[in-house]
Amino acid sequence: MSQEPLLSLEHLSAHYVSQQGTRVVRAVDDVTIRLGAGETLGIVGESGSGKSTLALTIMRLLPPAARIVGGRIMFEGKNLVDKPEAEMREVRGKRIAMILQDPMASLNPLFTIGNQVGEPLRVHEGATRANAWQRAIALLKSVRIASPQTRVAQYPHEMSGGMRQRIVGAIGISCEPRLLIADEPTTSLDLTIQAQYLNLLRELQREHGLALIFITHNLGIVAKMCDQLAVMYAGRVVEKGPVARIFNAPAHPYTKALLGSIPRMSDNRRQLTAIDGQPPDLSSLPAGCSFAPRCPAAFARCRAEAPPEFALDDGRTARCWLAAPGVAQSLDAQAAK
Amino acid sequence: MKQYIIRRAGYSLLSLFLLSLTIFLFVRVTGDPIALLTEPGASQDDIEAMRHQFGLDQPLWMQYWHFVASFLTGDLGQSFYYRTPVLDLYFQRLPNSLLLAAVAMALSLLIGIPSGILAAVRVDRFWDSAGKIFALLGLSLPQFWVGLVLILVFSVYLGWLPSSGSGTFLHLLMPAFTLGWYFAAAHMRMTRSSMLEVLGSEYVKLARLKGLPESLVIGKHALKNALIPVITLAGINLVVMINVAVVVETVFAWPGIGRLLYEGVTFRDFPVVQAVVVIGGSMIILVNFLVDILYALIDPRIRLES
């Protein structure tokens, strides 16, 4: 990743501010992530950890109460944070596409599939109605929808959930974007359909050279799909790096706990492992590390001071004092005394 | 589904029966029509003869039975005052009412839908608040007062518009506005709330994620969905406008069905009042019945409730 990355988030922060301005929710806080062309990045974290807000921040489609308060979103060499809305519209759907969580709700019930799939082509490329329709058929075919000629003229209620999610995928790739953000695209699908859909995404990625950001809380999907992983906790990226390294030796206690909470078939334990405590309230985060209250390895400094991102030797970063140069040794020394 | 329709139809017929009975009794409480229809010095014999002619000498239950039975055969009786069949009177006035209702409805939709959209898109900002005030006034100001103020301003002070009557387009403006304002307010509030709901939907989010301009997001994806409940409401309101624009038609002396009803009440013209109320009521009950069935066809959950 020596050349310019496709997407580079630099100290990006997006906060929700209540109307009186008294309550600030740090939904995305000082996030730095790089993603090269054609790479796949998984973003995992509990509900409310800021994953979806991060995606909407990149799209610059935050709800009215939220705004970007700092940092840059460098995409294809330009900072999206500064882009006027009109230029941003040319990025959305054309250069960066996004797939939402709920396929049943993301298609408009009153328009035909062809209309909705062809829409980005008409808006971004000025395609004629007939041309957009023909290309919609081709797109349906490319997401493996059987008899696309008939399907194109049908309405969303005539499709199954798996088909609808494929159609949403077809909308996503319609303008050949460079980056596709998929926000838990398979949570509402059953397992077989899920696997098919993930394979489809992978094939599409290969065919079109897409970079993919995969937002999920399913670590199994991350292991299968992603090159890079970013673990989010309370709006911050607590650990990021190559998937295999993180899975083999998580540096952050939160990552460790997440990996430990996956039930395994070989496991004979009767109880599922859970992380003690609740995720913190993002509007009143603890003074130090936000994971410290739940962290089994926390020590005094964790509660006093939030750790910065420490770069590890193998290309990973971790926001944990344990990863600070020299800390592990000195702790060992303390324990030895 | 069949059971649901039968049950709904049963409720409709019950409502109609209660309506006819109520109006039949209420008109008779207003007083004796003969007193208004005879010369002050009429002899007792003349009065008795007239009472007999109108069937008012029969016992109440006989009169009611007669009213219902002839109504079912399509005979609405004779007007005491005009001495012509009520149905003829009704159809004479119907075109005027239809015209007024059509213009008032067009006005209410032209004002209500765009302002409702604007209020939803600018929620809690200036235009939303302005719309709230417009709607609050429209729903709460009495129509007779609005009508009188309009007459005062546009007929008396400015002399731009005729204060009453019908015949030209200018005659239509003030009654249509007075009638339309109330419904514009209703349609606006409905458009706003339904639009707000749709704007929060996933497909609107996806439309924005596709990079569509806001005009397409609102005008295509959101609007079409948001209008469904508005159109249902407008359909029911149209029937209401045609049949019960009593106050507006009276204030502006507009010769429609509402005014016919008003005249019927003043002259104690029982058959006219009964007929107008029952016809109007039937239309409203019928429309509600059809809407109930349409909803059940659209939404399977309603069907299951029955």
Q: List average pLDDT for each run of 10 residues in chain A, which is 337 residues long.
A: 79 88 86 92 89 93 90 92 92 92 85 93 93 94 90 89 89 92 82 83 86 90 90 92 91 89 70 76 84 87 89 87 75 58
Who's near B160: CB < 8 A, 6+ residues apart?
A: B154
User: Is ipTM beyond 0.95?
Assistant: no
Paired sense of beta strands A236-242 and A317-318, if any: antiparallel
A61 contacts chain B (CB < 8 A): yes
Which of A105, A111, A171 is opposite residue B210, by nearest beta carbon?
A171
Contacts of B205 in chain A (CB under 8 A): 61, 100, 106
- Within chain B, all domains assigned CATH 1.10.3720.10 are found at 88-266
Contacts of B216 in chain A (CB under 8 A): 123
CB pairs under 8 A between A and B: 63
Q: Alpha-carbon distance B231 to A336, whole Å? A: 78
Tokens describing residue A143: 């997401």
Task: Inspect the interface and report whether the beta carbons of B205 and A97 lie closer than 8 Å.
Answer: no
Q: Which of A108, A175, A180 to mutate to test the interface with B (most CBs of B within 10 A)?
A: A108
What pLDDT, on the 0 to 100 scale, is given for residue A143? 87
Binding-face residues of A in 146-175 toward B, CB within 8 A: 168, 171
Task: Inspect the interface and report whether the beta carbons of A93 and B212 lie closer than 8 Å.
Answer: yes
Under 8 Å between Cβ of A57 and A14: yes
Task: Inspect the interface and report whether the beta carbons of A110 and B224 lie closer than 8 Å.
Answer: yes
What pLDDT, on the 0 to 100 scale, is given for residue B76? 84
What pLDDT, on the 0 to 100 scale, is given for residue A165? 87
A62 contacts chain B (CB < 8 A): no
A105 contacts chain B (CB < 8 A): yes
Under 8 Å between Cβ of A120 and A112: no
What is the mean pLDDT for each group of 10 consecutive residues in chain B (306 residues)? 87 93 90 80 83 86 89 85 90 93 95 94 90 93 93 92 86 93 95 94 93 92 90 88 89 92 90 91 90 76 57
State the DSSP code for B154: I
Task: Note the pTM of the prediction, 2 decimals.
Answer: 0.80
Contacts of A119 in chain B (CB under 8 A): 207, 210, 212
Of A24, A22, A80, whose CA–CA distance to A56 is shortest? A80
The fold of the B88-266 domain, in CATH, is: MetI-like fold (1.10.3720)
What pLDDT, on the 0 to 100 scale, is given for residue A328? 60
Task: Inspect the interface and report whether the beta carbons of A110 and B212 lie closer than 8 Å.
Answer: no
Contacts of A109 in chain B (CB under 8 A): 203, 225
Which of A106, A110, A124 is opposite residue B206, by nearest beta carbon?
A106
Interval B65-106: pLDDT, tens: 988 888 888 888 888 888 899 999 999 999 999 999 999 999
Q: How far is A8 from chain B (nearest CA, A)?
A: 20
- CB atoms under 10 Å from CB of A313, counted, come to 5
Who's near A105: CB < 8 A, 6+ residues apart?
A: B201, B202, B203
Residue type, A331: L
Q: How far is B239 from chain A (nearest CA, A)?
A: 27
Q: How far is B301 from chain A (nearest CA, A)?
A: 16
Task: Inspect the interface and report whether the beta carbons of A90 and B208 lie closer than 8 Å.
Answer: no
State the DSSP code for A174: T
Contacts of B207 in chain A (CB under 8 A): 108, 119
Under 8 Å between Cβ of A230 and A58: no
- Closest chain A residue by Cα to residue B224: A110
Task: Inspect the interface and report whether the beta carbons of B225 and A94 lie closer than 8 Å.
Answer: no
B216 contacts chain A (CB < 8 A): yes
Burial class of residue A59 (count of CB atoms within 10 Å of its CB; 0-12, 13-18, 19+)? buried
What pLDDT, on the 0 to 100 scale, is given for residue A270? 67
Of A194, A174, A176, whose CA–CA distance to A185 is shortest? A194
Q: Alpha-carbon distance A97 to B70, whole Å? A: 69
Who's near A25: CB < 8 A, 6+ residues apart?
A: A15, A16, A17, A282, A283
Binding-face residues of B in 222-281 toward A, CB within 8 A: 224-225
Q: How far is B225 from chain A (nearest CA, A)?
A: 7
Q: Alpha-carbon distance A43 to A72, whole Å? A: 19
Contacts of A120 in chain B (CB under 8 A): 210-212
What pLDDT, on the 0 to 100 scale, is given for residue B306? 47
Length reported for chain A: 337
